[in-house]
Structure 1
């Protein structure tokens, strides 16, 4: 009897939670946007809060509300936003961090790193850039029947299958500021009329936006040269006014550093690509092996030109996205000790060496 009474009392004590929160009172932040405010030294924070209306068992209609506030810091802006929002803000469902170019050009990591101290803030969610005012983008709330948060998340997820766009999480974005050997690139989102699309990548230098972007095609080439892209990338190569659809099946790269008198004289980037040609026209005759070899050679030359253009764009931005500094520092320490990397990198001779192999035979043109 005593044991039964004691068990009953323990159940009474453990049946409640002193810090419980009602789900209906939480404001789920789905996306966080960052803009530079009109006032100097101020930032503008936009929080996209997702919810369901006409909710029923098994579903409901998704909705999104946007709250904005300004502050001298991110913590200040969050506090000002909290004053305007009924219920308690929670960050544990945040799927995307999106910043404008103006915000990104002025030490964005210094302003965003406080998010790493918020215990409920997901550090593995993506960071992207928008070419415009983020507050205006989120104010649209919906696009093509989806909330803006859902639309952008799906748009980015489609690129993760092949990694043809750079992927940066909040954690890596914050910590790479302290890594002197790596620069980052962020997926660039742009509005085109009523539509929104990915438009290449924005290049960063030492934690701030460089003001230089890579086009979508050159971003794909850069991903191949960085060695992070998986099979499945389509390269549309224009030659003699005709487009060729090249489907990448396998790609591998190396970094070769040549030196003279303990100084880096040249960097070569061999890139081997195995690919298939895809065509919609099937009524014409198949290519002979000789013609296929000639086409392989011409495509190799054209992709090599694009690779060189991507490298030159990265050097113009002084953005070492391909990781040359880390390679030299790790394996050519004497040469590295004589270098002023930021000063010398934009002028270094860097030469890609693309070798394309067409795998399929019987190509129809």
Structure 2
């Protein structure tokens, strides 16, 4: 009897799920698009949210769909509140997988605008970021591509691009905190629309948290990623030489930075990149290549990759975007020279020479 009485008292003491929210009442954002209008009034920010839905649900599946809602306001918080008014359920960000900036929004302190998302409960700070070269609201209105909802299509496209080293991974958390890091600039995946197709188009360069207005091509983006990492690999590169196409798979890469200076002033920075590669596509030949032919291809590929690397570095300098984090390197290992520098003024004028040293490991046989 005593045990039964204790059990009854404990039942009354338990609070239960008094604050539960039924899943049917939640409106889970999947992809969030942010644009800035050119209007002169205060309501110049547009927020578009793709909410994934599932109709005809049954055990093991259902029919995927998407609900698109949007609002215009003077800030992100204002837009979130207005969107809440439009929905019958509770708007939640805990399933957000991708944030997409329109270029105009990306050019005007996006990191400051996004800070509020770090204070919203259950906001996934590991969500990926990307840039669209037109209005994101128009992109999301496409609804479907290849039988997939546009939201799912975009999420899978960016996720796979990161997985296969086509583009850098930048999360919401990194982007918000990056504004406070003087040595951190970003390259965000760039989405482009061509007719009815949507595809990855390289990367958009950011300086001090703002879009610079300058982009890297797909090839230059992969080259920039190679030049940034100390050690790496797992990247495909394509090139066209002598009317033949070549594709290499980078098995291993290793970077060294050599800084030349005099009188405590930096005169030149050399980016030395050692690449060990497999020749996947050896042009028109489908036979094993002779050593003489391999040596010739290796020299031509080395020259071509060095040219690509130089163009990539020059584009980064033109944008005054230190994606390679050279400032961090100089501050850590060449502080005497660093003290005499005004980095943002000096960086675009520095002599930066990439030096790629290529080694082909196989014979170029097509299997």
TM class by smaller structure: over 0.9
Structure 1 residue 279 displacement after superposition? 2.6
Aligned to 1:75: 77
Secondary structure, aligned partner of 2:179? helix
Aligned to 1:31: 31
Kept after mapping to 2: 8 A contact 1:37/1:70: no
Give me the whole-angstrom Cα distance separating, in 1, the residues matched to 2:285 and 2:38: 60
Aligned to 1:354: 356
- The C-alpha deviation readout for 1:266-319, integer Å capped at 9, x for no partner, is 000000111111238787543210111111011001000000000000000000
Aligned to 2:256: 254
Q: CA RMSD in A?
A: 1.8
Aligned to 2:316: 314
Aligned to 1:108: 110
Query: Which of 217, 242, 245 matches 1:243?
Result: 245
Distance 1:153 1:223, change over 3 A: same
Aligned to 2:19: 19
Give me the whole-angstrom Cα distance separating, in 1, the residues matched to 2:213 and 2:205: 7
Give me the whole-angstrom Cα distance separating, in 1, the residues matched to 2:232 and 2:222: 11
Kept after mapping to 1: 8 A contact 2:245/2:281: no
Give me the whole-angstrom Cα distance separating, in 2, the residues matched to 1:283 and 1:313: 34
Distance 1:110 1:348, change over 3 A: same
Total equivalences in the alignment: 365
2:305 aligned with 1:303: yes
Structure 1 residue 73 displacement after superposition? 0.7
Kept after mapping to 1: 8 A contact 2:248/2:281: no
Give me the whole-angstrom Cα distance separating, in 2, the residues matched to 1:235 and 1:280: 13
TM-score between both structures, scaled by the size of structure 1 = 0.96
Query: Which of 43, 46, 50 matches 2:45?
Result: 43
Give me the whole-angstrom Cα distance separating, in 1, the residues matched to 2:62 and 2:364: 52
2:276 aligned with 1:274: yes
Secondary structure, aligned partner of 1:19? coil
Aligned to 1:340: 342
Give me the whole-angstrom Cα distance separating, in 1, the residues matched to 2:65 and 2:214: 35
Give me the whole-angstrom Cα distance separating, in 2, the residues matched to 1:192 and 1:129: 15
Which is worse superposed, 138-147 or 338-347?
138-147
Kept after mapping to 2: 8 A contact 1:30/1:149: yes
What are the equivalent positions in structure 2 for 1:1-365 lying under 5 Å apart?
1-14=1-14, 16-40=16-40, 41=42, 42-227=44-229, 230-279=232-281, 284-361=286-363, 363=365
TM-score between both structures, scaled by the size of structure 2 = 0.95
Kept after mapping to 2: 8 A contact 1:49/1:66: yes
Structure 1: stretches of 5+ with no match in the other structure: none
Kept after mapping to 2: 8 A contact 1:185/1:321: yes
- The C-alpha deviation readout for 1:8-41, integer Å capped at 9, x for no partner, is 3423553732111111011011111100024334
Distance 1:107 1:234, change over 3 A: same
